[in-house]
Amino acid sequence: MSKMKERMLAGERYLAGDPELTADRSRARALLELYNGTRAVADDERARLLRDLFGEVGEDVVVMPTFRCDYGYNISIGAGTFVNYDCVMLDVVPIRIGAACQLATRVQLLAATHPVDPEPRRLGWECGSPITIGDNVWLGGGVIVCPGVTIGDDTVVGAGAVVTRDLPAGVVAFGTPATVQREIDSR
């Protein structure tokens, strides 16, 4: 494993032009091209391609094309999760999605980031911070989850929200930035 890949996976600053990382992204793009080009009735082929692309994928996971990611191998999705059209996951570090989640259209899980300091950014340094989505979470249309965020089990995030900080389990949150509006009483 290259030094830059080790740095990337550790959440440290790395240079994405590293040959091994470039090859990994090319592999993901090739799998995504096949996946996004599958026919609607090709469920078995889609499932096989997801298993090839993702680090872990549970049973009965549905990811609607088009789907985009950087590497794929840093993504794990739990059983019964549904990812709707046009989802983007920038997975330079782990993105973990629990079981029975619902991700609406155009959700973005953005684990990748860049230095705020202009000089390292100009030189091409990047980094990332993992994203964790608990079980039975519903992310509404266009939700953006920023690097390093954890969303607890059973939480609902309203359409268009930008999640910049962790959200606890069992709440409804929305807005920019997303704020908890109320707890969910499931009784």
Q: Is the peptide bond before 177 cis (omega within 30 degrees of 0)?
A: yes
- Cα 180 to Cα 187: distance, rounded to the nearest angstrom: 19
Q: What radius of gyration do the chain's Cα atoms show?
A: 17
Pick from 8, 2, 7: nearest CA to 92: 8
Give catalytic residues, as residue numbers: 114
- Cα 93 to Cα 113: distance, rounded to the nearest angstrom: 10
